[in-house]
A and B are shown apart, each in its own frame.
Chain A
Protein backbone atom coordinates (compact mmCIF):
# COMPACT_ATOMS: atom_id res chain seq x y z
CA UNK A 1 0.00 0.00 0.00
CA UNK A 2 0.98 3.65 0.11
CA UNK A 3 3.63 4.59 2.60
CA UNK A 4 6.05 7.38 3.18
CA UNK A 5 8.84 6.87 5.67
CA UNK A 6 11.68 8.86 7.14
CA UNK A 7 15.19 7.56 7.82
CA UNK A 8 15.96 9.59 10.95
CA UNK A 9 13.42 10.30 13.66
CA UNK A 10 15.55 13.01 15.33
CA UNK A 11 18.17 15.33 13.89
CA UNK A 12 20.26 17.66 16.06
CA UNK A 13 22.28 20.40 14.39
CA UNK A 14 24.28 23.37 15.51
CA UNK A 15 22.91 26.80 14.79
CA UNK A 16 24.31 28.05 11.51
CA UNK A 17 24.96 24.60 10.08
CA UNK A 18 23.02 23.13 7.19
CA UNK A 19 20.36 20.50 7.86
CA UNK A 20 19.31 17.65 5.62
CA UNK A 21 16.12 15.75 6.32
CA UNK A 22 15.46 12.62 4.27
CA UNK A 23 12.32 10.84 3.23
CA UNK A 24 11.65 7.61 1.34
CA UNK A 25 8.41 7.02 -0.50
CA UNK A 26 7.10 3.79 -1.94
CA UNK A 27 4.41 4.81 -4.44
CA UNK A 28 5.87 5.40 -7.88
CA UNK A 29 2.50 6.83 -8.96
CA UNK A 30 2.98 9.90 -6.74
CA UNK A 31 3.26 13.07 -8.80
CA UNK A 32 3.58 15.77 -6.19
CA UNK A 33 5.48 16.11 -2.93
CA UNK A 34 5.36 18.62 -0.10
CA UNK A 35 7.44 19.35 2.95
CA UNK A 36 5.60 20.63 6.01
CA UNK A 37 6.89 22.05 9.28
CA UNK A 38 4.89 21.52 12.43
CA UNK A 39 5.60 23.33 15.66
CA UNK A 40 4.25 22.09 18.95
CA UNK A 41 0.51 22.65 19.27
CA UNK A 42 0.12 23.98 15.74
CA UNK A 43 -1.00 22.74 12.37
CA UNK A 44 1.44 21.81 9.60
CA UNK A 45 2.91 24.79 7.77
CA UNK A 46 3.82 24.55 4.09
CA UNK A 47 7.55 24.87 3.40
CA UNK A 48 8.15 23.87 -0.19
CA UNK A 49 6.76 21.53 -2.82
CA UNK A 50 7.96 19.81 -5.98
CA UNK A 51 6.31 18.05 -8.88
CA UNK A 52 7.51 14.67 -10.10
CA UNK A 53 8.78 16.15 -13.38
CA UNK A 54 11.40 18.13 -11.46
CA UNK A 55 14.41 16.99 -9.46
CA UNK A 56 15.21 20.16 -7.57
CA UNK A 57 13.42 23.24 -6.33
CA UNK A 58 14.74 26.07 -4.22
CA UNK A 59 13.06 28.46 -1.86
CA UNK A 60 14.30 30.87 0.73
CA UNK A 61 16.98 28.93 2.66
CA UNK A 62 15.35 25.64 1.69
CA UNK A 63 15.93 23.24 -1.18
CA UNK A 64 13.99 20.09 -2.00
CA UNK A 65 15.61 17.32 -4.01
CA UNK A 66 13.68 14.50 -5.63
CA UNK A 67 15.30 11.30 -6.83
CA UNK A 68 12.63 9.22 -8.52
CA UNK A 69 15.03 6.41 -9.34
CA UNK A 70 15.40 5.48 -5.70
CA UNK A 71 12.14 7.13 -4.53
CA UNK A 72 13.90 9.54 -2.25
CA UNK A 73 13.06 13.07 -1.18
CA UNK A 74 15.18 15.41 0.88
CA UNK A 75 14.82 18.82 2.45
CA UNK A 76 17.90 20.95 2.88
CA UNK A 77 17.82 23.92 5.23
CA UNK A 78 20.71 26.36 4.93
CA UNK A 79 22.11 28.18 7.97
CA UNK A 80 19.72 26.48 10.37
CA UNK A 81 18.26 28.78 13.01
CA UNK A 82 16.65 28.07 16.40
CA UNK A 83 13.29 28.96 14.88
CA UNK A 84 13.67 26.01 12.53
CA UNK A 85 13.27 23.60 15.46
CA UNK A 86 10.11 21.62 14.75
CA UNK A 87 8.85 18.34 13.36
CA UNK A 88 9.21 18.06 9.59
CA UNK A 89 6.94 15.89 7.49
CA UNK A 90 7.18 14.89 3.88
CA UNK A 91 3.92 14.14 2.12
CA UNK A 92 3.10 12.72 -1.30
CA UNK A 93 0.08 13.03 -3.50
CA UNK A 94 -0.85 10.13 -5.75
CA UNK A 95 -1.77 10.98 -9.31
CA UNK A 96 -5.56 11.09 -9.91
CA UNK A 97 -6.18 11.72 -6.25
CA UNK A 98 -5.98 14.65 -3.91
CA UNK A 99 -5.22 13.15 -0.55
CA UNK A 100 -1.78 13.53 0.95
CA UNK A 101 0.09 10.59 2.46
CA UNK A 102 2.33 11.76 5.29
CA UNK A 103 5.50 10.26 6.65
CA UNK A 104 6.02 9.76 10.37
CA UNK A 105 8.06 12.94 10.83
CA UNK A 106 11.59 13.99 11.78
CA UNK A 107 12.29 16.10 14.82
CA UNK A 108 14.82 18.83 14.09
CA UNK A 109 16.59 20.27 17.15
CA UNK A 110 18.80 23.29 16.69
CA UNK A 111 21.46 23.83 19.32
CA UNK A 112 22.61 27.38 20.00
Chain B
Protein backbone atom coordinates (compact mmCIF):
# COMPACT_ATOMS: atom_id res chain seq x y z
CA UNK B 1 0.00 0.00 0.00
CA UNK B 2 1.82 3.06 -1.25
CA UNK B 3 1.97 6.07 1.01
CA UNK B 4 1.49 9.69 0.08
CA UNK B 5 3.50 10.48 -3.02
CA UNK B 6 4.88 13.85 -3.96
CA UNK B 7 6.77 14.97 -7.02
CA UNK B 8 9.10 16.35 -7.84
CA UNK B 9 11.21 15.82 -4.72
CA UNK B 10 13.41 18.76 -5.62
CA UNK B 11 12.47 21.73 -7.79
CA UNK B 12 14.63 24.68 -8.78
CA UNK B 13 13.01 27.74 -10.28
CA UNK B 14 14.25 31.18 -11.19
CA UNK B 15 12.47 34.21 -9.82
CA UNK B 16 9.33 34.92 -11.81
CA UNK B 17 8.79 31.35 -13.00
CA UNK B 18 5.94 29.09 -12.00
CA UNK B 19 6.23 26.10 -9.69
CA UNK B 20 3.83 23.14 -9.75
CA UNK B 21 3.94 20.65 -6.93
CA UNK B 22 2.00 17.39 -7.14
CA UNK B 23 0.57 15.17 -4.44
CA UNK B 24 -1.10 11.80 -4.73
CA UNK B 25 -2.84 10.85 -1.47
CA UNK B 26 -2.86 7.38 0.00
CA UNK B 27 -5.27 4.97 -1.63
CA UNK B 28 -8.76 5.53 -0.31
CA UNK B 29 -7.99 8.95 1.14
CA UNK B 30 -10.10 11.84 -0.05
CA UNK B 31 -8.71 14.63 2.15
CA UNK B 32 -5.51 16.44 1.23
CA UNK B 33 -3.58 19.07 3.16
CA UNK B 34 -0.63 21.22 2.13
CA UNK B 35 1.94 22.54 4.61
CA UNK B 36 5.06 24.65 4.18
CA UNK B 37 8.20 24.25 6.25
CA UNK B 38 11.04 26.74 6.43
CA UNK B 39 14.47 25.49 7.61
CA UNK B 40 14.52 24.64 11.32
CA UNK B 41 10.88 25.56 11.75
CA UNK B 42 7.63 23.69 12.20
CA UNK B 43 5.14 23.05 9.46
CA UNK B 44 2.65 25.80 8.65
CA UNK B 45 -0.78 24.89 7.37
CA UNK B 46 -1.66 26.26 3.94
CA UNK B 47 -4.79 24.61 2.56
CA UNK B 48 -7.16 21.69 3.07
CA UNK B 49 -8.98 20.16 0.13
CA UNK B 50 -11.40 17.39 -0.61
CA UNK B 51 -12.11 16.17 -4.11
CA UNK B 52 -12.99 19.22 -6.23
CA UNK B 53 -13.48 21.42 -3.16
CA UNK B 54 -11.32 23.78 -1.12
CA UNK B 55 -12.42 23.39 2.49
CA UNK B 56 -9.99 25.67 4.31
CA UNK B 57 -7.47 27.98 2.66
CA UNK B 58 -6.80 30.17 5.66
CA UNK B 59 -3.05 29.56 5.43
CA UNK B 60 -2.65 30.36 1.77
CA UNK B 61 -1.00 33.65 0.74
CA UNK B 62 -3.54 35.88 -0.94
CA UNK B 63 -1.60 36.19 -4.15
CA UNK B 64 0.34 33.86 -6.45
CA UNK B 65 -0.63 30.64 -4.62
CA UNK B 66 -3.44 28.31 -5.63
CA UNK B 67 -4.37 24.69 -5.00
CA UNK B 68 -6.69 22.18 -6.55
CA UNK B 69 -7.69 18.57 -6.06
CA UNK B 70 -9.54 17.46 -9.19
CA UNK B 71 -11.88 14.52 -9.44
CA UNK B 72 -9.18 12.60 -11.29
CA UNK B 73 -5.48 12.97 -10.72
CA UNK B 74 -3.24 14.39 -8.03
CA UNK B 75 -3.63 17.52 -5.98
CA UNK B 76 -1.63 20.44 -7.36
CA UNK B 77 -0.10 23.33 -5.44
CA UNK B 78 0.73 26.09 -7.88
CA UNK B 79 2.97 29.05 -7.16
CA UNK B 80 3.10 31.75 -9.81
CA UNK B 81 5.93 34.24 -10.23
CA UNK B 82 8.05 32.65 -7.53
CA UNK B 83 10.24 34.80 -5.29
CA UNK B 84 13.19 33.79 -3.11
CA UNK B 85 10.96 33.81 -0.03
CA UNK B 86 9.00 30.90 -1.51
CA UNK B 87 12.02 28.63 -1.05
CA UNK B 88 10.92 25.98 1.43
CA UNK B 89 9.88 22.37 1.80
CA UNK B 90 6.26 21.79 0.87
CA UNK B 91 4.58 18.78 2.41
CA UNK B 92 1.35 17.15 1.46
CA UNK B 93 -0.67 15.01 3.86
CA UNK B 94 -3.80 12.95 3.43
CA UNK B 95 -6.41 11.51 5.75
CA UNK B 96 -9.24 9.04 5.21
CA UNK B 97 -12.25 10.53 6.92
CA UNK B 98 -13.58 12.78 9.65
CA UNK B 99 -15.05 11.81 12.98
CA UNK B 100 -15.44 8.33 14.37
CA UNK B 101 -12.88 6.52 16.47
CA UNK B 102 -9.35 7.37 17.45
CA UNK B 103 -6.76 8.03 14.76
CA UNK B 104 -9.20 9.20 12.11
CA UNK B 105 -7.77 12.72 12.27
CA UNK B 106 -4.30 11.37 11.70
CA UNK B 107 -2.65 12.92 8.70
CA UNK B 108 -0.13 10.87 6.75
CA UNK B 109 2.64 12.92 5.22
CA UNK B 110 4.50 12.57 1.97
CA UNK B 111 8.28 13.03 1.60
CA UNK B 112 7.92 16.67 0.56
CA UNK B 113 9.03 18.83 -2.36
CA UNK B 114 11.99 21.06 -1.73
CA UNK B 115 11.61 24.24 -3.74
CA UNK B 116 14.62 26.44 -4.34
CA UNK B 117 14.18 29.79 -6.00
CA UNK B 118 17.34 31.27 -7.48
Contacts and interface: CB of A to CB of B under 8 A. Distances in A.
A46 B107 CA distance: 8
A83 interface: no
B54 interface: no
- Majority secondary structure of chain A interface residues (helix, strand, loop or mixed): strand
Nearest to B43: A102
Given A43-B91, A98-B98, A102-B42, A49 B111 contact: no
Interface in B44-81: 44-45, 48, 55-56, 58-59
A33 B102 CA distance: 11
A27 to B, nearest CB: 13
A104 interface: yes
Given A99-B33, A101-B45, A104-B41, A44 B91 contact: yes
Contacts of A49: 102-103, 105-106
Interface string B78-108: 0000000000000100010010001101111
Interface in A69-112: 89, 91, 93, 97-105
Interface of A: 4, 32, 34, 36, 41-46, 49, 51, 89, 91, 93, 97-105
